[in-house]
Structure 1
Amino acid sequence: MPLLPTPARTLAPRTLVMGVVAHVDAGKTSLTERLLVAAGVLDRAGSVDAGDTQTDTMALERRRGITIRSAVATFVVDDVLVNLLDTPGHADFIAEVERALAMLDGAVLVVSAVEGVQAQTVKLHRALRRLGLPCVVFVNKCDRAGARPEDVVERVGRRLGVDVLALQEVVDAATAGVVVRPLPEAVLRSRATEVLAGHDDAVLAAFVDDRPLPAPELRRRLARATRGGLVLPVLCGSAITGAGVGELLAALPDLLPTHRPCADGPPAGSVFKIERGPAGEKLTHLVLRRGTVRVRDRLDLGHGRAERVTALALHSPGGAQPADALPAGRIARVRGLETARVGDVLGPVDRTPMRPVFSRPSLEAVVEPVEPARRGDLHAALAQLAEQDPLIEVRQDDSRGEIAVSLYGEVQKEVLGALLAEEYGVAVTFGTSSVLCVERVRRSGRAVERMGEVGNPFLATVGLRVEPAAFGAGLAFALEVERGAMPAAFFTAVEDGVRSALAAGPHGWPVPDVRVTMTHSGYAPRQSHAHQTFDKAMSSTGADFRYLTPLVLMTALLRAGSCVCEPVHRFTLEAPRVAQGAVLGVLAQLGAVPLDTGYEDGLVVVGGHVPASAVHDLRLRLPGLTSGEGSLTTGLDHLRPVLGPPPERPRIDHDPTDRETYLRTAARLAGRV
């Protein structure tokens, strides 16, 4: 019995949600196309260059030849229905990759047989390991001139720090006639035994006793080691010629974890993507893990109200098809969920919730409409784009007449400008990107405003304590008061007020990592006139808590003290060894600090820290320094205090640091004057 299976066509009682991830230009989208051909979904593979691939559906993706938004392709192999997510490869769209990873059961990590393991490859593999997601490596482009599949397989194990097991051999590499064939059975079983013996006591015992395990048993133990992240199976081929793709397809159900969907119980799933249809309607992409969702069902995604499902389009082989029901284990576009946001959870989900595995944007740029009269249209368009990508933070400064957006890099800025022009008809220009600083809380601080005391016009009591949180922890909101002490809507208003106020700390910068605890609460119960009509003048409202909370929070932050910090990126730079001196010189000029240097196949690999403000300049100068052969991958690593006087960021909200002015405005908005 061969160690690698052969595909069979049956019904699909099992499901698999898998991703294809890689460094940009490694051939992810081409591989997806070829998998769809091998699975019988497409008659021929589309071409990225020709702009006719199934998963790159946006006109901008087809024109630029890059994936910008994750897309779903569905096919059946063996007895498994596979939902495949094709993800972007460019670092500027890493947030899109993050959302896809949170949905996956496993992944195919694509590596080019020409360029080999690149910095982004290492970064993606680390993210997969942090999430506990098993993966299979596919060494692509074995037909290309300069392809070195055997060397690349060896480098995969060395650079990724995992034992690898090559399942095939490549004949006539670097030619259009490349052939991928299974290793001789005895060779493959010997190599598998040797690799697995380091992770499996039963295999080790059989190896020591010179007692070969049967192929089915060895295959089962390889699958277990793969799913545990202990071993990386490596397959090879070419997405362009199709060599090796059928073997990859056949191996997926065995090597990656599959599930038998459970239709019982309440529906449970996650929202991983939001988009807009041709008429501007909101389309929510929902991965359903358990239960069933039907048209006309009402779903509560945690926003305080249930919304009715008006239509479903089930991702199926051949594309999304209208359906009356979404069964467990499937993905569908859902209409009617107007409050849905990326990352929302439906019901109890027996999976790790979506959490960041990559850094948040560290740049910001002012965006202006070419036609000033279109400012309102620009803001509406950006709001919709931010809905699709939660890390596109939009700030509108009415006092300065500016709209600013957060960004990962200059490519994302170019793409955002093109999207605004093509999809929304709003031509824009961008200002120079600037570094997005943050504020870190120094110590614990607390404040309280009590109802009825002088200086508090609101019918509310709010006490808050703020404390520092670890880098990347985000906001943790907790209660030290009883939940039954006042209506739940008032607690929600306090938490909403906290989240809103943390967008601008004492110096105007976001405060992303902090623990906020509500220590005091109080409200005026609902009062009525003699004719039983509600008397707002004597009764607390959500607005009382919503407008009082920022004032209390800011006082607590001022007492705790905050430090303005600038982002510092961890970088990995690869360049020809002959360019090492020039590269190190530029790194020094830009304030970068090299921490480690290594050498591989004529390349120097430098890793270290670089200020976020210098990343764009480094990217611009790298091609000239390396004759176009250098590559750079960066990501937010840590924050460091700004030297000298802290920079101030203009506030765009009502400023709670100016108590008198804030109270005058907020009391009027809450109806207390």
Structure 2
Amino acid sequence: MPPAPLTPRARTLALGVVAHVDAGKTSLTERLLVAAGVLDHPGSVDGGDTQTDTMALERRRGITIRSAVATFAVDDVLVNLLDTPGHADFIAEVERALAVLDGAVLVVSAVEGVQAQTVVLHRALRRLGLPTVVFVNKCDRAGARPEHVVARVGRRLGVDVLALQEVDGAGTPDVAVRPLPDDVFAARATEVLAGHDDAVLAAFVEDRALPRRELRRRLARAARAGAVLPVLHGSAITGAGVGELLAALPGLLPTRRPQADGPPAGTVFKIERGPAGEKLAHLVLRRGTVRVRDRLDLGHGRAERVTALALHGPGGARPADALPAGRIARVRGLETARVGDVLGRDGRRPSAPVFSRPSLETVVEPVDPARRGDLHAALAQLAEQDPLIEVRQDDSRGEVAVSLYGEVQKEVLGALLAEEYGVEVAFGTSSVLCAERVRGPGAAVERASDPDNPFLATVGLRVDPAPVRAGVVFALEVERGALPAAFFTAVEDAVRTTLAAGPHGWPVPDARVTMTHSGYAPRQSHAHQTFDKAMSSTGADFRYLTPLVLMTALQRAGTQVCEPVHRFTLEAPRAAQGAVLALLAALGAVPLDTGYEDGLVLVSGDVPAAAVHELRLRLPGTTSGEGALTTTVDHLRPVVGPPPERPRIDHDPTDRETYLRTAARLAGRV
């Protein structure tokens, strides 16, 4: 019998569950659904019957690949829970989920403790200002040391922690948790909160005890401000402590009251395809109501009609006529929707990526050459679902390349192409995805009156360096009335497209481009009866002239090809320290910090992206299978020696003669 439909709730909570891979994140999600009355019994990751891992590939591999939504109620709070991937290769999926959350549960194993990816995730949560509760899982496992892990959470994450429970029978199937006695809780809470709350500090100085309820209220305030991490314990396998976690979440994390009135506002955080290939946009609505047949404007130049809604609730997504504020639905009909699109003014998205972009690229070929068209179509849909899977199609070489985070993602991509699209593929060797940074200012101008300019357009551009992760900024030094708005748009679009490949063929991710000159031939007047394209400027003139001007400016500015460098965190037995350091040196890694804890050596530092895969392959043999490694792209460094060149896939504006011959024909000027 399906769960009863949800009635309207006074408050909502968008909750994320995040963790290092294998910390028990999906198992905890299943147990939370049982505790909330959504499921009769929890699914098993090993058994492949979990509610949130719905893809056959997820169930077979036992890992989460795509974020999934589960909805349930706790008292008067409606919880939209997002189960996210734990593997570092799918960190982009985590980022999309973080953009719509109110708070998070960070799962840590009571056996393995704080792992490298745990630290990466916590840093991202702090950067986004997302309040977090820690759940120490697997307290039933042999070797569980909950108290030790709590202390380690505080040290490794660099934040004050407050455990709210005691654990009995740790390391056994009979493990149980209970609230701290009032006096113990008061002492610990006062000590932790005194550094963040003046009222608690005053009570501490005056040796005055605050009531437990008052301390819990002040703990919630500190947790929502990100100053303190509340810690709860339990086991997702046995269910110990999960009910207590569920009950505590609305009080420790921020909830919001849905705004039913006003124009709709929300965020698209996920795109997928339905059984018939139709696009389905997952929309979290913060305000207003969206109904079937409403028209929504996501900023792509036209409003699109909602043709169907599937509202997430207990038991999954079900057809509905309306999406109310505070709920999440799959929306059909939004064919131009992209991940990160914002509806209305209250939609939210990060101002900048919280995780780095992929640093690897690989060529993918269909095993059956006749399926090349199908491969292109499938990759286009997968890139739509994951915008960081950048697809580059080189028609001159007949190759398609995709950008990736790592080898596991490559394996999963191959399996998805085979199982969901019926296209068997083979991958080439992964190569490092470099970037070009602008060295200094450079400018160029092409005037309509120049004899070798076939376009009826004048474009002048200046390129200046921009800070790392500033992105591409387009500015004007000409009057906005100097050109029709459509021509300015054509120039800006062409600027951003052209910077996908700089003078050496690599992306230019950060630059400030200023338009310094402009001119056009006005549309022929009505007195001439017909529009004469030969005498009037068009958007194509500006679209095809801009790359030529911009590339000349970039060549005058100069660019430096840079390779990505990963920041790594490595844990290994102390006995393996010498072998680990030798391996790091052989691969060009630079250790920056070394520490010791519980018989482990903890090494962090920098390693070239080109060496990361080799490091992963050789680490198990070097550490007898006990080493753990997490890496994330940290910065770019200039390439030593001759800069590597990347073949271009567009009409090459560095070859003026060939480019003009092709572009002038495309613009209709020959």
Both structures adopt the same fold (TM-score exceeding 0.5):
yes
Cross-structure match for 1:456 = 453
How far apart are the structure 1 equivalents of 2:512 and 2:237? 51
Written as runs of structure 1 = structure 2, the 5 A alignment for 1:210-221 is: 210-221=207-218
**2:625 is the alignment partner of 1:667:** no
What SS is found at the alignment partner of 1:195?
Answer: helix
1: distance between equivalents of 2:481 and 2:250? 50
Whether 1:236 aligns to 2:243 is: no
Say if 2:27 is the partner of 1:18.
no
| Structure 2 counterpart of 1:146, from 143, 146, 157 | 143
Q: Partner of 1:193 in structure 2?
A: 190
Q: Which moved more, 1:597-606 or 1:478-487?
A: 478-487
Q: TM-score, normalised by structure 1?
A: 0.97
- Give distance in 2, aligned partners of 1:450 and 1:423: 51
Q: Partner of 1:417 in structure 2?
A: 414
SS of the aligned residue for 1:12 comes to coil
Contact 1:10 1:78 in 2 (8 A): no
Greater mean alpha carbon deviation, residues 513-522 or residues 559-568: 513-522
C-alpha spacing 1:407/1:10, structure 2 compared with 1 (3 Å)? closer
For 1:3, the equivalent position in structure 2 comes to none
> Residue 625 of structure 2 aligns with which residue?
628
Partner in structure 1 of residue 472 of structure 2: 475
| Other structure's SS at 1:157 match | helix
The letter for the 2-side match of 1:97 is: V
Query: Secondary structure of the equivalent of 1:476?
Result: strand
- Is 1:60 matched with 2:57? yes
C-alpha displacement of 1:530: 6.1
Is 1:597 matched up with 2:617? no
SS of 1:81's partner is strand
- Is the counterpart of residue 36 in structure 1 residue 33 in structure 2? yes
Q: Return the alpha-carbon distance in structure 1 between the equivalents of residues 638 and 250 of structure 2.
A: 49
Structure 2 residue aligned with 1:433? 430
Deviations 1:539-585 (A, max 9, x none): 32222221111111101101100011111111010001011011001
Offset at residue 148 of structure 1 (A): 0.7
Q: Which residue type is aligned with residue 600 of structure 1?
A: E
Give the Cα–Cα distance (whole angstroms) in 1 for the partners of residues 460 and 261 of structure 2: 44
Preserved contact between residue 100 and residue 349 of structure 2 (Cα < 8 Å): no
**Is the counterpart of residue 121 in structure 1 residue 135 in structure 2?**
no
Q: Which moved more, 1:295-304 or 1:238-247?
A: 295-304
Q: Does 2:405 correspond to 1:408?
A: yes
Contact 1:102 1:355 in 2 (8 A): no
Supply the distance in 1 between the matched residues of 2:430 and 2:137 (Cα, whole angstroms): 36
1:327 aligned to 2:324? yes
> Equivalents in 2 of 1:515, 1:283: separation in Å?
35
Residue matched to 1:515: 512
Equivalent residue letter for 1:631 = A
- Give, in angstroms, the shift of residue 324 of structure 1: 1.6
Query: Structure 1: 5+ residue runs without aligned partners?
Result: 1-8
* Partner residue, 1:156: 153
Q: Deviations over 1:34-73 (max 9, x none)?
A: 1011011111111111111111111100100000011111
Map of 1:5 onto structure 2: none
Tell me which of 357, 366, 370 is aligned to 1:369: 366
Distance 2:472 2:286 in 1: 27
AA of the residue aligned to 1:671: G
Q: Is the 8 A contact 2:266 2:348 kept in 1?
A: no
Aligned counterparts of 2:205 and 2:8: Cα–Cα separation in 1: 42
Task: Return the alpha-carbon distance in structure 1 between the equivalents of residues 515 and 210 of structure 2.
Answer: 61
Contact kept, 8 Å, 2:266 with 2:347, in 1: the verdict is no
Are 1:386 and 2:383 matched, yes or no? yes
Contact 1:449 1:552 in 2 (8 A): yes
Q: Of 630, 637, 641, which aligns to 2:638?
A: 641
Map residues 249-260 of structure 1 onto 2, 5 A cutoff.
Answer: 249-260=246-257
The answer to whether the aligner puts 1:316 opposite 2:313 as a matched pair is yes
Number of residue equivalences: 665
CA contact (8 A) 1:529 1:535 kept: no
What letter corresponds to residue 260 of structure 1 in structure 2?
R
Residue 51 of structure 2 aligns to which amino acid in structure 1? Q
Aligned ranges 1:251-290 → 2 under 5 Å: 251-290=248-287
What whole-Å deviation, never above 9, does each CA across 1:586-605 have from its counterpart, x for those lacking one?
10100111111000100000
Is residue 2:344 matched to residue 1:347? Answer: yes
- Does structure 1 retain, via aligned residues, the 8 Å contact 2:342–2:349? no
294, 297, 300: which one aligns with 1:297: 294
The equivalent of 1:544 in structure 2 is 541
Contact kept, 8 Å, 2:292 with 2:321, in 1: the verdict is: yes
Equivalent in 573, 577, 584 of residue 576 of structure 1: 573
- The Cα shift of 1:220 comes to 1.4
* Alignment-mate amino acid for residue 16 of structure 1: L
d(CA) in 2 for partners of 1:283 and 1:365?
A: 28
Q: CA separation of 1:10/1:268 partners in 2, compared to 1, >3 Å: closer, same or farther?
A: closer
Indicate yes or no: 2:88 matched with 1:95.
Answer: no
Structure 2 length-normalised TM: 0.97
Report how far residue 312 of structure 1 moved.
Answer: 1.1
Distance in 1 (alpha carbons) for counterparts of 2:546 and 2:147: 61
Which of the numbers 610, 613, 617 marks the counterpart of 1:613? 610
Q: CA deviation at 1:534?
A: 3.3
Separation (CA, whole Å) in 2 of partners of 1:513 and 1:279: 39
Q: Does 1:655 align with 2:652?
A: yes
2-structure distance, mates of 1:328, 1:354: 23
CA contact (8 A) 1:156 1:164 kept: yes
Answer whether contact 1:102 1:354 (CA < 8 A) is retained: no
Correspondence 1:165-176 to 2 at 5 A: 165-176=162-173
Show CA shifts across 1:382-413 (max 9, x none).
Answer: 11100000110111111111111111100000
Q: CA deviation at 1:147?
A: 0.8
- Alpha-carbon distance between aligned partners in 1 of 2:486 and 2:260, rounded to the nearest angstrom: 33
Out of 39, 51, 75, the position equivalent to 2:72 is: 75
Which residue of structure 1 lines up, in the alignment, with residue 3 of structure 2?
none
Q: What letter is aligned with 1:403?
A: V
TM-fit CA distance, 1:484 = 3.4
Describe the SS at the equivalent of 1:470: coil
Choose the corresponding residue for 1:505, options 502, 509, 534: 502
Larger deviation: 16-25 or 342-351?
A: 342-351
Query: Which amino acid counterpart does residue 63 of structure 1 have in structure 2?
Result: R
CA distance in 2 between counterparts of 1:525 and 1:532 reads 15
Counterpart amino acid of residue 304 in structure 1: G
Is residue 99–residue 348 contact of structure 2 (8 Å, CA) maintained in 1?
A: no
What amino acid is the match of 1:465?
A: R
Gaps of 5+ in 2: 1-5
1:207 deviates by 1.8
TM-superposed CA distance for 1:366, in Å, is 0.6
Equivalent residue letter for 1:519? T
Contact (CA 8 Å) 1:440, 1:563: kept in 2 or not?
yes
Q: How many percent identity over aligned positions? A: 87
Task: Mark the CA change 1:484 to 1:313 in structure 2 (over 3 Å): closer, same or farther.
Answer: farther
Q: Is the 8 A contact 1:10 1:79 kept in 2?
A: no
Distance (Å, rounded) in 1 between the aligned partners of 2:323 and 2:480: 36
Comparing 635-644 and 574-583, the one that deviates more: 635-644
In the TM superposition, what whole-angstrom CA distance separates every residue of 1:212-253 from its partner, at most 9, and x where no partner exists?
A: 222332221111100111100000000111100001001111
Per the TM alignment, residue 531 of structure 1 is displaced from its structure 2 partner at its CA by 7.7
Q: Could you tell me whether the CA contact under 8 Å between 1:367 and 1:404 is conserved in 2?
A: yes
What per-residue deviation string (whole Å, max 9, x for no partner) do you get for residues 331-380 of structure 1? 11111111111111112126454520111111111111000111111111
Q: Relative to 1, partners in 2 of residues 1:10 and 1:426: Cα closer, same or farther, differing over 3 Å?
A: closer
Structure 1, 159-168 or 451-460: larger mean CA deviation? 451-460
Deviation at 1:526, TM superposition (A): 2.6
Q: 1:150-180 CA deviation, whole Å, 9 max, x = no partner? A: 1001100111111110000110011111111
CA distance in 2, matches of 1:540, 1:335: 39
Structure 1 range deviating more: 17-26 or 283-292 = 283-292
In 2: Cα distance, 1:360 partner to 1:213 partner: 48
